[in-house]
């Protein structure tokens, strides 16, 4: 996703979901209907995949134990641990202190047992994830590399995919924490296209990297990817041969959020994660169903695709119009970053009072926010089931309420 707030330690590791750079109430305008379903839902259980951010243990004060106490652990099938870096075309550690050195006392630990300082003892997020998996053995964890800020190294990785895959395997399967991770996730923003920097590796580079990773990690490991959700003609989905890699991936996460936001400071106001198009949408093809249909049309099985949900809102200030499409003077204030607010905060500060494009929006005190609610998420899960998708994923766990309000809605996917 685009410009997601992080901690004072890591200040810009983020995803650009849609591939852009820059429910209560009646709909503001007639909404387009999702494309007709083209595949029945698979018999296998649906995946519910949640991101856990390495830096969340700082300003957000969100720890692995919160996954348990919120009730989220019982609903998750998978956790994506974000992020590792790609420096020099290699997989490298992000924040070593948060990952495996930060000590937890008994009160902060998943199992109520304090970390030790014994030689070789594992601490930090990795040890807490190990403890969480012991209590919830159904949960599988993948370590994600890249993201908005740390994707620059993929260009070099594509020059020698085998060497890149070897470096990733050595890090993920380090004996100190090999039991914590069940595989690897690649969040390349964006192959053969522009994100924070531009890549010109060609349309087959992504497949080459994924092929090398699958060969190195083997058939029993999870190999997954978060990709653009740019549904425009000639956009980022069209720039890369994602279909060639699909057979080597366990699932694919088109980041169907961050289509619109206060990175366009004057607006027009629009919800950042519309499911469908609607009259007045600022950019044709910037909605979830467009991305899903484009990926399916390229031959990617629906069962490999997960629908993305943002556990946060994006908003503007200086707005006088309640309906979408209004002008603004800039980004609305947010606790961690201007223009963004976690659902657990914005849902009470500026409750939703309208829906458009299958998602919700709110207008209050000159601010305009777009975000998903439990009701719109449930509707999106109905859509995902109808499309035969393999499940849903969300960015990210700390944005939910202490009781897991949003993940409860996601879990209705089955």
Would 131 be classed as within a structural domain? Answer: yes
| pLDDT for 79 | 98
Any domain includes 224: yes
Q: Could you say which of 189, 337, 341, 396 is catalytic?
A: 189
pLDDT tens for residues 279-313?
999 999 999 999 999 999 999 999 999 999 999 99
pLDDT on residue 4: 38
Catalytic annotation present for 189 = yes
**348 within domain boundaries:** no
Q: Which domain holds residue 227?
A: 47-311+372-413
Residue 141 falls inside a structural domain: yes
In a domain, 3, yes or no: no
Asked whether residue 125 is domain-assigned, the answer is yes
Residue 24 lies in a domain: no
| Structural domain count, the chain | 1
Please list the ranges in the chain whose pLDDT falls under 70: 1-44
Buried-state track 230-260, b at ≥16 Cβ within 10 A, e below 16? bbbeebbbbbbbbbbbbebbbbbbbbbbbbb
Q: How much is the pLDDT for 45?
A: 87
Per-residue pLDDT at 346: 98
CATH number of the domain enclosing 226 = 3.20.20.80
List CB contacts of 170: < 8 A, sequence separation 6 or more.
none
Q: What is the pLDDT of residue 81?
A: 99
Is residue 344 assigned to a domain?
Answer: no
Instruction: Identify the pLDDT of residue 133.
Output: 98
pTM of the model: 0.91
């Amino acid at each position: 996703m685009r410009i997601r707030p992080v901690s004072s330690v890591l200040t810009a590791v983020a995803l650009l979901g849609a591939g852009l750079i820059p429910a209560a109430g009646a709909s503001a305008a007639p909404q387009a209907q999702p494309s007709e379903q083209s595949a029945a839902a698979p018999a296998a259980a649906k995946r519910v995949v949640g991101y856990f951010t390495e830096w969340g243990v700082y300003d957000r004060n969100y720890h692995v134990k919160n996954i348990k106490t919120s009730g989220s652990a019982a609903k998750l099938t998978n956790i994506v641990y974000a992020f590792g870096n790609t420096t020099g075309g290699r997989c490298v550690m992000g924040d070593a202190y948060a990952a495996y050195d930060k000590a937890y006392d008994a009160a902060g630990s998943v199992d109520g047992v304090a970390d030790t300082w014994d030689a070789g003892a594992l601490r930090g997020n990795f040890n807490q994830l190990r403890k969480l998996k012991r209590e919830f053995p159904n949960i599988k964890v993948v370590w994600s590399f890249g993201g908005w800020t740390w994707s620059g190294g993929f260009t070099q990785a594509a020059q020698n995919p085998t060497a890149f895959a070897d470096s990733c395997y050595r890090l993920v399967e380090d004996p100190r924490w090999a039991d914590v991770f069940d595989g690897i996730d690649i969040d390349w923003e964006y192959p053969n296209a522009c994100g924070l920097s531009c890549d010109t590796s060609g349309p087959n580079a992504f497949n080459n990297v994924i092929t090398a990773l699958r060969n190195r990690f083997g058939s029993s490991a999870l190999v997954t990817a978060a990709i653009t959700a740019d549904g425009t003609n000639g956009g980022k989905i069209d720039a890369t041969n994602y279909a060639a890699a699909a057979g080597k991936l366990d699932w694919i996460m088109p980041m169907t959020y961050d289509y619109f936001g206060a990175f366009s400071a004057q607006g027009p106001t629009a919800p950042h994660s519309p499911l469908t198009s609607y009259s007045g949408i600022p950019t044709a093809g910037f909605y979830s169903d467009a991305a899903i249909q484009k990926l399916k049309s390229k031959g990617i099985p629906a069962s490999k695709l997960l629908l993305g949900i943002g556990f946060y809102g994006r908003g503007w200030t200086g707005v006088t119009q309640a309906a979408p499409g209004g002008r603004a003077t800039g980004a609305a204030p947010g606790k961690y970053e201007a223009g963004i607010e976690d659902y657990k905060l914005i849902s009470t500060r500026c409750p939703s009072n309208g829906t458009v494009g299958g998602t919700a929006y709110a207008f209050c005190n000159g601010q305009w926010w777009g975000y998903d609610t439990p009701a719109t998420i449930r509707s999106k899960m109905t859509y995902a089931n109808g499309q035969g998708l393999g499940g849903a994923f969300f960015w990210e766990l700390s944005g939910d309420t202490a009781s897991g309000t949003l993940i409860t809605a996601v879990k209705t996917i089955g």
